[in-house]
Chains A and B, each alone.
Chain A
Amino acid sequence: MSVKLVMIIDDSEMDHFLAKYMIEEYDPSIEIIQAYDGQEALEILKGLSSQPDVIFLDINMPRMNGHAFLEMYSNWEGHSESVIMLTSSNQAQDKEKSLAYQCVKKYYVKPITRSHLESIVNM
């Protein structure tokens, strides 16, 4: 798939830095939007004319966590079909709960790697 617009939803500044660096390293032409919790992400997504090709989503975040975000976002018409979980939680319950959404394509445990990005692009 062609990836032009990516959103990173994570409350950690370090992880934003890390993910942004990895994506830019992989393909500097990719545009990156950043949100620090689910609620902020929904507000930004609402204002977009077209939804991101890929959304990287963390789970444990203040205000609105990843699960709550999916509950809301998956009901949107024309939502992005490629949500990639990127979290430090390796708990089965988190994995099962997220992968239950059709739009969630992968569940990766941090940190993000080059091979993660390759497999996403090759989806």
Chain B
Amino acid sequence: MSSKKQANKSFKAINVDDHYSRLEAVLNTVIDGIITIDHLGCIQSFNRSAERIFGYTPDEVIGQNVKMLMPAPYHDEHDGYLKNYQVTGDKKVIGNGREVKAQRKDGSIFAMELGVNEMTVSGEKMFVGTIRDISDRKQAEQALKDNQAKLQAIVDNTVDGLITIDEKGLIETFNRACERIFGYTANQVIGKNVKVLMPAPYHKEHDGYLKNYHNTGDKKIIGTGRQVEGKKKDGSIFPLDLSVSEVNVKGRRIYSGIVRDITELQETQKRLAAVLDNTVDGLITIDEYGNVEHYNKACEGIFGYKPEEVIGQNIKMLMPEPYHSEHDGYLKNYHETAEKKIIGTGREVAGQRKDGSTFPLDLSVSEVNVQGRTLYSGIVRDISARKEADEKILQANTELEEFSYRTSHDLRSPLVSAIGLLNIVTDAIKNDKKELALESTEFVQKSLSQLENLIKDILQLTKTKNELEDEESICFAILARESLGKFKNMDNFGRLDIQQNFRFSGNLKTKKSRVVLIVENLLSNAIKYQDVNKNNSFIKISSYKTKNHIVLEVRDNGLGVPEAQRDNLFKMFKRFHPRTSFGSGLGLYMMKKSADILHGNISYEACSDGSVFKLELPLSE
């Protein structure tokens, strides 16, 4: 403005004035700041953009040294620059643009681009400076740089390897994770074909894949992930998870691959699968419709089905009725009501094996959500053995209780009788009743021999339970003959027709004392319980072979066993014939226990006229 005033003074012509006004208007609308200084550095003009850039009004700066717009050290050095130029004519900034620092009125410092030109006005040397505030651009540039550094840091520090290749397969990027995964440094592989990272056959085929894709556009791996193999620098091959995507950068096609070494993951998976397969418990996973997704090795042992027979099938195939028909309903009900019946708890249910047999199993079910899908996992344990053992324990317990009750009773009973009878004997002797004394004494003897028999049986029974014995050869014919020899003095032995037919006459290796016990009891029972009202009483002893067993059969036409008592036949302390029997009630029970020890079986068959007892012993291999 002051230059305008000066001009007005110099020319005083309206048209000239008009020309300056127009020039001034142009100067003031230029975006760049324009400052002119004289050869001493005093500011001569200062346009509107300069005002905006520096925050000074023209009045504040015109006539002042331009160094006021500069921060240290330029502030102090600028006068020197000017002087130096005038003396040496050595241009430093003049005619060139350069980036310098400037200082605003508020003291803040900023970057600006400065262009300086020299001109001569009315013989006086002047300098025109064009100024552009580039702090915004600088900031943007910095941000861009920061961003790039950040990106690089991210790329370098991702756990996953990142590789980019060009259309020909040459590696352009190979981040730090890749270096770690493959064992190469980036420098060693950048510019090389990516196939160096692949083992055969991919190594040979990769160029073909790329070509094929370029020709057909047929995406195989692009856009998806898959498990492939990688080759390390040391030649070792390892599993990796690869996902490839295609990127277009300035019309150039590049492919970026993200790789993850899954060696450990696979190991873990293998280990986990091995653990699952080798658990004693069966593990089954089903989807929400009941279809089997996983079926471990233990399940094979439990159900008898192979995984391929079960996977994909409905779980109900492993259930007997009514669960078989109801299971779909259970699932549906749970989906609809969310009411948990078995989920989260364990329970005893029935399972069905491939062969159709059913068995008790302990089942615990839990619900799992995997990637938005509901799965149910069940752990199953075959508890047939446990149940059987439970039953055996219960039975043993019952027997033990019965045993203690009956021994307390049956041991006491004959003793008590004997005491009472001896009182009669005493009275009888006192009163000189010889016959009564004799009769009573006979009963005392009977009572005591009954006691002796009972004690003998109890001892035998304990032996049956606890004794270990080696196996030896036995022959039924010889055992029968020996037993019958022992019993020939029993009442009514002589009236029996005893027939023997040993079709199996070979030797059998087994625990002899058990077989002797059974044979003796069978024969003595047959003798004891003969029907004296029949005049053709017989005992038929025979042996024969079936597929897996040798059978000893004792058939008689004696008293038989009352139908109501047959279920209790082999239980302890059971007597079935009033008046006839004075046994301990342990005979058949001992036979049963002995047969169990021999892994055989003893059974009773009712026949129209008497009894048939069969002892089956397994054939030795």
Q: Which residues of chain A have a CB within 8 Å of any CB of chain B?
A: 11-15, 17-18, 21, 36-37, 39-40, 60-63, 88-91, 109-112
Interface segment, one of B224-232, B407-415, B548-556: B407-415
Q: Give chain B nearest CB distance to A122 CB in angstroms.
A: 22
> Which bucket holds chain B's interface residue count?
20 to 34
- Most chain B Cβ neighbours within 10 Å, of A13, A18, A36: A18
**Cβ contact within 8 Å between B578 and A11:** yes
**Cβ contact within 8 Å between A110 and B409:** no
Which B residues are CB-close (under 8 A) to A90?
408, 412
**Cβ contact within 8 Å between A91 and B417:** no
**Cβ contact within 8 Å between B409 and A111:** no
**Cβ contact within 8 Å between B443 and A62:** no
Instruction: For the complex, give the distance between the alpha carbons of A64 and B564 in Å.
Output: 10
Q: Which residues of chain B have a CB within 8 Å of any CB of chain A?
A: 405-406, 408-410, 412-414, 416-421, 423-424, 436, 439-440, 443-444, 446-447, 562, 565, 574-579, 581
Name the one of B409, B424, B443 contacting A13, with C-beta atoms under 8 angstroms: B443
Q: Give chain A nearest CB distance to B417 CB in angstroms.
A: 4
Tell me what chain A mostly uses at the interface: helix, strand, loop, or mixed: loop
- Most chain B Cβ neighbours within 10 Å, of A40, A89, A112: A89
Chain A to chain B: the 9 pairs with minimum beta-carbon distance, closest first: A111-B420, A88-B413, A62-B575, A36-B578, A37-B578, A14-B417, A14-B443, A110-B416, A18-B420
Name the one of A18, A39, A40 contacting B417, with C-beta atoms under 8 angstroms: A18
Which B residues are CB-close (under 8 A) to A18?
417, 420-421, 424, 443
Q: Give chain B nearest CB distance to A105 CB in angstroms.
A: 21
**Cβ contact within 8 Å between A111 and B577:** no
Which residue of chain B is the closest to A60 with respect to CB atoms?
A: B409
**Cβ contact within 8 Å between B416 and A88:** yes
5 A–B contacts from the bound complex (CB under 8 Å): A14-B421, A14-B443, A39-B578, A63-B565, A111-B416
Q: Give chain A nearest CB distance to B583 CB in angstroms.
A: 10
Q: Give chain A nearest CB distance to B280 CB in angstroms.
A: 43
Instruction: For the complex, give the distance between the alpha carbons of A112 and B447 in Å.
Output: 16
Instruction: For the complex, give the distance between the alpha carbons of A39 and B579 in Å.
Output: 13
Q: A88-B416, A111-B416 are in contact. Are A14 and B447 (CB under 8 A)?
A: yes
Which residue of chain B is the closest to A15 with respect to CB atoms?
A: B417
**Cβ contact within 8 Å between A17 and B443:** yes
Name the one of B417, B439, B565 contacting A111, with C-beta atoms under 8 angstroms: B417
Name the one of B405, B410, B576, B578 contacting A91, with C-beta atoms under 8 angstroms: B405
Instruction: For the complex, give the distance between the alpha carbons of A40 and B447 in Å.
Output: 23
Instruction: For the complex, give the distance between the alpha carbons of A88 and B407 in Å.
Output: 11
Q: Give chain A nearest CB distance to B70 CB in angstroms.
A: 119
**Cβ contact within 8 Å between A61 and B578:** yes
Q: Give chain A nearest CB distance to B329 CB in angstroms.
A: 46
Instruction: For the complex, give the distance between the alpha carbons of A63 and B563 in Å.
Output: 11
Which B residues are CB-close (under 8 A) to A109?
416
**Cβ contact within 8 Å between B424 and A21:** yes
Which B residues are CB-close (under 8 A) to A39?
578
Which residue of chain A is the closest to B418 with respect to CB atoms?
A: A14
**Cβ contact within 8 Å between B410 and A62:** no
- A60-B409, A62-B574, A111-B423 are known; give 10 further A-B pairs, CB within 8 A: A14-B421, A14-B444, A15-B417, A15-B420, A62-B575, A62-B577, A88-B412, A88-B416, A89-B408, A111-B417
**Cβ contact within 8 Å between B420 and A63:** no
**Cβ contact within 8 Å between A17 and B412:** no
Which residue of chain A is the closest to B424 with respect to CB atoms?
A: A21
Q: A111-B419, A112-B420 are in contact. Are A13 and B578 (CB under 8 A)?
A: no
Which A residues are CB-close (under 8 A) to B409?
60, 88-89, 91
**Cβ contact within 8 Å between A17 and B421:** yes
Instruction: For the complex, give the distance between the alpha carbons of A111 and B447 in Å.
Output: 13
